[in-house]
């Protein structure tokens, strides 16, 4: 019984402690001294403009497995923000401020990262790279009445049943279909070996769709999955070889993809590798550099698609060492960077269309926004998904560059 | 057939690398009765050091330096995180180990920015060789032999030197050994130094094979090596080596079937089976409880 | 005398709990009472304060259930995440409305389990108004109890072989079982039930407990109150167990197994009881965790999660329930809220502060943990409880006079 009392008191104490913590935070904000959390990046030059500020939340992983992708996506937004740091709303000029929150690539940290953005009073949220964290944070944004604009979260469940979540990328089933058709058309593939991370909804979802389509067209699919943090892929690749796979489909995250490519090279795998949008990354490209691996990926954007943007972002990356670090140390443009760039402008369009900085108005306006971005025309359907019927398939030249293979349409 | 051989080769090679980590676990456990959760992370740090040092130094200078720094790290961890807790309950020490592992992983994330880093190519070890129709790297072939040589040397050290005798005495009975005038702290430090040195060698072999290093790259080999040490009977060095080869081969055999989802679970199932049948592992000593 | 005091203590405890719950309700509804413009950020329903409070409530139950096993019975088990996973999945599978199943299980063309408690009660009590609330409450309650039961049943079967093992070996074996359970739930072949690698979502979450008016605006928020209520009931039950004859037997086993056995305590029975009870409450907290993150997905329930809970238990003090609870809130608030500013590059007066960039928060956090572990070895509370502290002070004052 004493314990019961103690417990109650303990909780009460903690509660008051928490409340105290909250107060100090408020005071900070009230004083007008910049709370640390609200400065997006020292790299972004402070824009000279009106006193009015509109905040855009950047909900991206800066740590964890998806950090590499999240940082590149954010790079596009930062570049866009540097390029267009203000927006006209109802005749007034607002300075746009990016507010980042690290969701740690993990669904259990996502809700509190999302709450951080909400606490900063952001008008709209961009992100995330990775569907799981987007889904986990979805309800926090929903409760706050803030619209979220997914950049490269391709899982169907992100937007389904949510009127506040939108996205500008294509979906997994479309991507899988494109790749399955490509495998059959280009390589006359009969047997496909699919390798994904155990328990990762992105990998396994794409593999499941790929399998459905590939088998429906008379192909044979062998699936395998590796545990998280695995680095030994020799047995998987040898199995693919032993089964006589015509293509190897690896929709895995960047760290695994680089390992698979280097190990495949030393095992002398000749079957072509098909990858999803995650593999469109310069670290993967570097792994394939100088090898005989045939690597094909489906993606949102192909370098050279918008020369002005290419030039701009390259200058931006080269002029800024932290941006270059975020991009993996060189200036190859990742598709997610282009997507981040487009997402920023779509958000600005929505703010302009709403004619106010009110999150609810922006949310209402977002569904009607159309925008011609560097990655193509963007418009939303009734679910909130971008109407996209194009995916680019490109292959690695194995000398640190991508080359456009084909542009695939749906159907 | 070719495929079966390739599975076996991968299993033996990876087993050898686990063995080098498992020895570190087993020796520390034998002496301190502590599961050193940070050991897998020391292994990862050795890999990162390899990357950073080889970027500015030639390999013949970088690799010995990696060895040296890893040993220093292992030594410092013991002095800073475990020594102050020598009289504390065992669970506190274990928590301290978990804390160190946390700290190392988070610091590595901070320094590398969470991006996977690529291990340098070590000449000869990285070259390809074809065995029974399966191309593989030289390191795969060399690992088991190197492991056996190191283990034999270690056995010599433990069975035929004064330090080795002291180590055996401490493992047998901590307090009596202390009363006999053995300097416990230096013996424990030697244990950590040997363990870290083997982890550093293991990291060179392992990351030559599997080149990308992330801050969590030590977690999985660490866990597998630990399971290997338990299967073999924790505290026993030959046990750790045998256990490591068993785990390495098992893992690769499961990976070659259609139940790839269970490649981790399978090793744990094997572990539990062995623990239930032989509670102290294959080569572990029987322990009787004192009241 | 003793009888009297404990009766008084019980009354005080119940009152304190009621006060705390009332405070929680008040805290989360302040934003509705104040005029819209003047609500401070931290009190807005979506602020981090409430995220931390909810997660804290969920984790405190997990930590106390682990403390029951590790702190009070002296069984070193690392299977907590596995039991939470079982609870989360049981709850999720039994709670997704039938109408949403096709969308959630889209890879498998619908679910093999076409049934949910909320729907079942909905057909009895109706789905609108008060009837809807009753069916929601009952549906969630039954599913949560079953979540605990499934975890306890699994614990029983795991315990049969494993509980014979000693200390570290037990820890490793339970850790292994947690990994095996995770792999089974990720297996695509079981997809129609577990949804494979995909997350199960669309089940009732904490926000479902907010009472809304006809136009959809929230009248009364109960989304933080609910996890507090459940955790409190469960922790109270654990307290009662610890203070019973069984609890004394647990402590005897912790202090000395052989002596306890000699005193006539049935080791196997009591260890199993402690193991299953702990698993039951871990299962319930797993169900709440699923409600907190609004989905159930196996890859979240890692060994790291178990370590986190273990750290909380140690920071709070092994063998102190109030310590575990306090440590949970401190831990969650530090890792997810108060230290977040360390992750951002900060410029003050044109000078960029050194070290501050993504990832620094976790470095600082782990250093803090190391300091606590090394220098405050017995944790915040040692094996004492909160009232003990007050009592000691009272006694001192008494002697002073």
Tell me the three-class secondary structure of chain A, residue by residue.
CHHHHHHHHHHHHHHHHHHHHHHHHHHHHHHCCCCHHHCCCCCCCCCCCCCEEEEEEEEECCCCCCHHHHHHHHHHHHHHHHHCCEEEECCEEEEEEEEEEECCCCCCCHHHHHHHHHHCCCCEEECCCCHHHHHHHHHHHHHHCCEEEECCCCCHHHCCCCCCEEECCCCHHHHHHHHHHHHHHHHCCCEEEEEEECCCHHHHHHHHHHHHHHHHCCCEEEEEEECCCCCCCHHHHHHHHHCCCCEEECCCCHHHHHHHHHHHHHHCCCCCEEECHHHCCHHHHHHHCCCCCCEEEEECCCCCCCHHHHHHHHHHHHCCHHHHHHCCCCCCCCHHHHHHHHHHHHHHHHHHHHCCCCHHHHHHHHCCCEEEECCEEEEECCCCCECCCEEEEEEECCCCCEEEEEEEECC
Indicate whether A371 and A312 sit together in one domain.
yes
Average pLDDT rounded to a whole number, residues A290-312: 87
| pLDDT at residue B220 tops 80 | yes
**Whole domain around residue B138: which residue ranges?**
19-217
Beta-carbon neighbour count of residue B15 at 10 Å? Answer: 28
Kindly list the residues from chain B whose CB atom is less than 8 angstroms away from the CB atom of residue C179.
264-265, 268
C182 touches chain B (CB under 8 A): yes
Indicate whether A405 and A382 sit together in one domain.
no
Burial class (CB in 10 A: 0-12, 13-18, 19+), B287: exposed
| pLDDT at residue A352 tops 70 | yes
The CATH code of the domain that includes A223 is 3.40.50.2300
Average pLDDT rounded to a whole number, residues B31-38: 86
Q: Report residue A29's pLDDT band, with 50, 70 and 90 as the boundaries.
A: very low
pLDDT at B4: 86
Name which of C258, C314, C362 is nearest B95 (Cβ-Cβ): C314
| pLDDT at residue C305 tops 50 | yes
* H or E element at residue B164: helix B162-172
pLDDT at A38: 38
Torsion of CA A98, A101, A105, A107, to 10 degrees: -120
**Residue B3 resides in a domain:** no
**Residue A26 resides in a domain:** no
Average pLDDT rounded to a whole number, residues B53-72: 91
Tell me if C78 sits within 8 A of C303, measured CB to CB.
yes
**Does A107 or B273 have the greater pLDDT score?**
B273
**Residue A69 resides in a domain:** yes
Helix C167-186 vs helix B219-232: crossing angle, to nearest 10: 130
**Residue B185 resides in a domain:** yes
CA distances from C120 to A312, B53, B127, C101, C150 (A): 59, 64, 65, 15, 20
Average pLDDT rounded to a whole number, residues C67-96: 92
C12 touches chain B (CB under 8 A): no
* H or E element at residue B14: helix B2-32
For residue range C208-238, what is the model confidence (pLDDT) as tens digits? 888 877 776 777 888 889 999 999 999 999 9
Tokens standing for residue A71: 């940082």
CA B171 to CA B175: how far, in whole Å? 10
For residue range A87-99, what is the model confidence (pLDDT) as tens digits? 888 788 889 999 9
pLDDT at B288: 53
**Whole domain around residue A396: which residue ranges?**
9-15+172-301+391-409
**How far is B23 from chain A, CA to nearest CA, in Å?**
21
| pLDDT at residue A3 tops 60 | no
pLDDT at B287: 59
Judged by CB atoms closer than 8 Å, whether chains meet at A238 and B118 is answered as no
Kindly list the residues from chain A whose CB atom is less than 8 angstroms away from the CB atom of residue B6.
234-235, 238, 242
| pLDDT at residue A28 tops 90 | no
Question: Residue A33's closest chain C neighbor by CA?
Answer: C348
Indicate whether A164 and A77 sit together in one domain.
yes
**Which residues have CB under 8 Å from B179's CB, separation 6+?**
none
| pLDDT at residue A177 tops 50 | yes
pTM listed for this prediction = 0.86
Question: Residue C76's closest chain B neighbor by CA?
Answer: B91
Average pLDDT rounded to a whole number, residues C21-28: 87
CA B93 to CA B86: how far, in whole Å? 8
| pLDDT at residue C118 tops 70 | yes
**Residue B238 resides in a domain:** no
Total number of domains constituting chain A: 2
* H or E element at residue C315: helix C303-316
User: In chain B, what percentage of residues exceed pLDDT 90?
Assistant: 34
Average pLDDT rounded to a whole number, residues B7-27: 89
Question: Residue B86's closest chain C neighbor by CA?
Answer: C374
For residue range C352-400, what is the model confidence (pLDDT) as tens digits? 777 777 778 888 888 988 888 888 877 788 777 877 777 665 555 544 4
Total number of domains constituting chain B: 1
Average pLDDT rounded to a whole number, residues B212-224: 86
H runs (alpha helix) in C163-298 = 167-186, 191-194, 225-242, 245-255, 257-262, 267-293
ipTM for this model: 0.87
For residue range A139-155, what is the model confidence (pLDDT) as tens digits? 888 888 899 999 988 88
Q: Report residue B286's pLDDT band, with 50, 70 and 90 as the boundaries.
A: low
**Residue B222 resides in a domain:** no
**Does C150 or A18 have the greater pLDDT score?**
C150
For residue range A272-290, what is the model confidence (pLDDT) as tens digits? 999 988 888 888 888 888 8
Tell me if A164 sits within 8 A of A147, measured CB to CB.
yes
pLDDT at A18: 41
Tokens standing for residue A335: 């598709």
List all chains that touch chain C, counting a touch as 3 or more CB pairs closer than 8 Å.
A, B
CA B113 to CA A255: how far, in whole Å? 13
pLDDT at A14: 43
* H or E element at residue C219: strand C218-220
Q: What value, to the nearest 5°, has the Cα angle with vertex A325 and ends A323 and A330?
A: 90
* Strand bridging mode A390-396 / A295-299: antiparallel
Q: Report residue C285's pLDDT band, with 50, 70 and 90 as the boundaries.
A: very high
User: In chain B, what percentage of residues exceed pLDDT 70?
Assistant: 98
pLDDT at B77: 94
Indicate whether A279 and A382 sit together in one domain.
no
Give the lowest-confidence range in A251-255, B153-157, C31-35, C244-248. Answer: C31-35
Kindly list the residues from chain B whose CB atom is less than 8 angstroms away from the CB atom of residue A241.
3
**Which residues have CB under 8 Å from C65's CB, separation 6+?**
C80, C234, C238, C277, C278, C279, C280, C281, C282, C285
**Which residues have CB under 8 Å from A329's CB, separation 6+?**
none
Kindly list the residues from chain B whose CB atom is less than 8 angstroms away from the CB atom of residue C359.
106, 109-110, 113-114
User: From its phi and psi, is residue A116 left (phi > 0), alpha (psi between -120 and 50) or beta?
Assistant: alpha
Question: Residue A104's closest chain C neighbor by CA?
Answer: C359
pLDDT at C395: 54
Kindly list the residues from chain B whose CB atom is less than 8 angstroms away from the CB atom of residue A263.
210
* DSSP designation for C165: S
Helix C321-333 vs helix C225-242: crossing angle, to nearest 10: 150
Question: Residue A257's closest chain B neighbor by CA?
Answer: B212
CA C322 to CA C340: how far, in whole Å? 26
Name which of B115, B137, B210 is nearest A68 (Cβ-Cβ): B115
Tell me if A296 sits within 8 A of A251, measured CB to CB.
no
Q: Report residue A32's pLDDT band, with 50, 70 and 90 as the boundaries.
A: very low
| pLDDT at residue A26 tops 50 | no
Q: Best of C366, C375, C378 to disrupt the B interface by mutation (most B CBs within 10 Å)?
A: C366
CA distances from B72 to A95, B31, B80, B105, C262 (A): 51, 19, 12, 18, 48
Tell me if C196 sits within 8 A of A204, measured CB to CB.
yes
**Residue B211 resides in a domain:** yes
Tell me if A72 sits within 8 A of A334, measured CB to CB.
yes
| pLDDT at residue A42 tops 60 | no
Average pLDDT rounded to a whole number, residues C19-38: 82
What's the whole-number average pLDDT of chain A?
81
**Does B287 or B26 have the greater pLDDT score?**
B26
| Closest of B221, B244, B241, B234 to residue B44, by C-alpha | B221
CA B184 to CA B181: how far, in whole Å? 9
Average pLDDT rounded to a whole number, residues C171-192: 90
Sequence ranges of the domains in chain C: 47-299
Touching A: C residues 23-52, CB under 8 Å: 23-24, 27, 40-52
Indicate whether A67 and A113 sit together in one domain.
yes
Question: In B181-211, which positions are buried (b, 16+ CB within 10 angstroms) versus exposed (e)?
Answer: ebebeebbbbbbbbbbbbbbbbbbbbbbbbb
Q: Which residues is A52 bridged to in the sheet?
A: A94
Tell me if B229 sits within 8 A of B22, measured CB to CB.
yes
For residue range B89-130, what is the model confidence (pLDDT) as tens digits? 777 888 889 899 989 998 998 888 777 788 888 888 777 778
**How far is A321 from chain C, CA to nearest CA, in Å?**
14
Average pLDDT rounded to a whole number, residues A247-258: 90
* DSSP designation for C37: G
| Closest of B50, C303, C216, B231 to residue A360, by C-alpha | C216
Question: In B125-141, which positions are buried (b, 16+ CB within 10 angstroms) versus exposed (e)?
Answer: bbeeeeeeebebbbbbb
| pLDDT at residue A243 tops 80 | yes
Q: What value, to the nearest 5°, has the Cα angle with vertex C14 and ends C8 and C19?
A: 125
Tokens standing for residue C142: 């039954």
Q: Report residue C103's pLDDT band, with 50, 70 and 90 as the boundaries.
A: confident
Tell me if C222 sits within 8 A of C211, measured CB to CB.
yes
Tell me if A338 sits within 8 A of A90, measured CB to CB.
no
Residue A88: phi, psi to the nearest 5? -85, 120
Residues in chain B: 291
**Which residues have CB under 8 Å from B206's CB, separation 6+?**
B14, B17, B43, B47, B221
pLDDT at C392: 61
Touching B: A residues 223-242, CB under 8 Å: 224-236, 238-239, 241-242
Tokens standing for residue C227: 């996890």
Indicate whether A73 and A86 sit together in one domain.
yes
| pLDDT at residue A47 tops 70 | no
Tell me if C207 sits within 8 A of A143, measured CB to CB.
yes
User: In chain A, what percentage of residues exceed pLDDT 90?
Assistant: 22
């Amino acid at each position: 019984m004493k314990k019961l009392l103690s417990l109650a008191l303990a909780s009460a104490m903690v509660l008051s402690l928490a409340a105290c913590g909250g107060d100090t935070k408020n005071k900070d904000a009230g004083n007008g001294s910049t709370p640390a959390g609200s400065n997006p990046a020292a790299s972004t030059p402070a824009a000279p403009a009106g006193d009015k500020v509109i905040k855009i939340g950047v909900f991206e992983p800066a740590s964890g497995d998806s950090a590499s992708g999240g940082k590149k996506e954010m790079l596009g937004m930062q570049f866009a923000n540097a390029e267009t740091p203000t927006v006209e709303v109802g005749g007034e000029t607002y300075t746009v401020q990016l507010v980042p929150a690290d969701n740690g690539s993990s669904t259990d940290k996502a809700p509190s990262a999302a709450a951080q953005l909400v606490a900063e009073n952001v008008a709209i949220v961009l992100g995330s790279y990775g569907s799981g964290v987007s889904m986990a944070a979805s309800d926090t944004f929903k409760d706050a009445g803030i619209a979220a604009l997914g950049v490269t979260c391709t899982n169907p469940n992100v937007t389904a049943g949510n009127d506040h979540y939108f996205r500008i990328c294509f979906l997994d089933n479309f991507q899988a279909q494109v790749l399955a058709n490509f495998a059959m058309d280009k390589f006359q593939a009969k047997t496909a070996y699919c390798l994904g991370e155990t328990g990762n909804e992105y990998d396994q979802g794409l593999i499941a769709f790929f399998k459905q389509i590939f088998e429906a067209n008379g192909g044979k699919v062998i699936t395998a999955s590796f545990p998280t943090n695995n680095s030994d892929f020799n047995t998987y690749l040898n199995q693919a070889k032993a089964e006589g796979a015509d293509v190897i489909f690896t929709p895995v995250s960047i760290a695994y993809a680089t390992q698979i490519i280097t190990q495949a090279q030393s095992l002398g795998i000749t079957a072509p590798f098909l990858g999803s949008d995650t593999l469109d990354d310069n670290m993967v490209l570097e792994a394939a550099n100088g090898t005989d691996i045939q690597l094909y990926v489906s993606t949102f954007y192909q370098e050279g698609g918008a020369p002005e943007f290419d030039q701009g972002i390259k200058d931006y990356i080269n002029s800024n060492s932290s941006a270059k670090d975020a991009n993996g140390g060189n200036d190859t443009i990742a598709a997610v960077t282009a997507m981040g760039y487009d997402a920023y402008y779509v958000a600005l369009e929505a703010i302009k269309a709403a004619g106010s900085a009110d999150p609810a108005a922006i949310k209402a306006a977002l569904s009607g926004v159309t925008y011609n971005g560097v990655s193509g025309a963007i418009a939303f359907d009734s679910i909130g998904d971008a109407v996209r019927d194009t995916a680019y398939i490109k292959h690695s030249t194995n000398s640190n560059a991508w080359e456009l293979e084909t542009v695939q349409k749906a159907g | 057939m070719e495929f079966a051989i390739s599975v076996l080769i991968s299993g033996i090679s990876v087993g050898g690398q686990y063995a080098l980590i498992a020895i570190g676990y087993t020796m520390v456990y034998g002496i301190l009765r502590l599961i050193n959760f940070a050991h897998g992370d020391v292994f990862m740090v050795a890999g990162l050091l390899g990357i950073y040092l080889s970027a500015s130094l030639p390999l013949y200078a970088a690799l010995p330096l990696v060895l040296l720094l890893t040993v220093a790290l292992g030594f410092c961890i013991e002095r800073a995180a475990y020594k102050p807790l020598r009289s504390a309950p065992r669970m506190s020490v274990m928590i301290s180990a978990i804390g160190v592992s946390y700290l190392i992983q988070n610091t590595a994330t901070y320094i590398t920015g969470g991006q996977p880093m690529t291990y340098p190519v070590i000449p000869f070890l990285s070259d390809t060789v074809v065995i029974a129709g399966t191309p593989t790297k030289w390191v795969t072939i060399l690992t088991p032999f190197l492991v056996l040589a190191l283990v034999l040397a270690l056995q010599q050290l433990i069975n035929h030197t004064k330090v080795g005798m002291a180590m055996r005495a401490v493992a047998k009975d901590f307090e009596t050994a202390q009363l006999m005038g053995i300097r416990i702290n230096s013996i424990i430090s030697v244990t950590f130094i040997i363990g870290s040195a083997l982890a550093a060698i293991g990291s060179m072999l392992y990351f030559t094979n599997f080149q990308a290093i992330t801050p969590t790259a030590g977690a999985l080999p660490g866990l597998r090596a630990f399971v290997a040490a338990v299967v073999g009977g924790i505290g026993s060095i030959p046990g750790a080596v045998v256990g490591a080869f068993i785990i390495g081969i098992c893992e690769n055999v499961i990976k070659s079937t259609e139940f790839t989802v269970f490649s981790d679970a399978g090793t744990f199932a094997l572990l539990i089976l062995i623990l239930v049948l032989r509670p102290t592992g294959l080569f572990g000593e029987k322990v009787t409880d004192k009241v | 005398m003793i009888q009297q005091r404990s009766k008084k203590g019980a009354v005080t405890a119940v009152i304190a709990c009621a006060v705390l719950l009332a405070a929680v309700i008040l805290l989360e509804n302040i934003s509705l009472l104040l005029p819209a413009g003047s609500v401070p950020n931290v009190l807005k329903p979506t602020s981090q304060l409430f995220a931390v409070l909810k997660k804290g409530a969920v984790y405190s139950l997990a930590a106390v259930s682990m403390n029951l096993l590790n702190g009070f019975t002296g069984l070193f088990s690392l299977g907590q995440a596995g039991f939470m996973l079982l609870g989360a999945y049981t709850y999720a599978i039994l709670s997704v409305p039938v109408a949403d199943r096709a969308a959630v299980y889209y890879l498998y063309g619908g679910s093999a389990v076409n049934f949910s408690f909320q729907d079942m009660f909905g057909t009895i009590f109706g789905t609108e108004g008060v009837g809807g609330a009753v069916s929601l409450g009952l549906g969630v309650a039954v599913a949560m109890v079953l979540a605990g039961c499934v975890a306890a049943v699994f614990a029983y079967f795991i315990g049969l072989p494993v509980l014979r093992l000693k200390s570290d070996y037990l820890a490793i074996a339970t850790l292994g079982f947690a990994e095996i359970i995770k792999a089974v739930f990720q297996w695509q072949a079981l997809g129609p039930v577990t949804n494979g690698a995909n997350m199960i979502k669309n089940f009732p979450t904490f926000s479902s407990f907010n009472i809304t008016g006809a136009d959809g605006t929230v009248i009364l928020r109960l989304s933080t109150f609910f996890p507090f209520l459940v955790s409190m009931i469960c922790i109270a039950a654990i307290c009662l167990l610890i203070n019973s004859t069984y609890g004394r037997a647990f402590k005897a086993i912790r202090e000395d197994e052989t002596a306890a056995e000699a005193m006539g305590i049935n080791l196997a029975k009591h260890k199993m009881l402690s193991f299953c009870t702990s698993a039951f409450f871990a299962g319930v907290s797993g169900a709440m965790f699923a409600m907190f993150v609004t989905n159930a997905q196996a890859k979240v329930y890692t060994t790291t999660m178990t370590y986190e809970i273990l750290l909380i238990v140690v920071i709070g003090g092994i063998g102190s329930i109030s310590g575990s609870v306090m440590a949970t809130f401190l831990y969650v608030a530090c890792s997810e809220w108060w230290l977040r500013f360390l992750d951002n590059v900060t410029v003050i007066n044109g000078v960029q502060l050194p070290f501050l960039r993504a990832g620094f928060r976790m470095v600082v956090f782990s250093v803090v943990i190391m300091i606590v572990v090394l220098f405050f070895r017995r944790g915040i509370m040692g094996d004492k409880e909160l009232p003990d502290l007050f009592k000691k002070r009272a006694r001192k004052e008494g002697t002073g006079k």
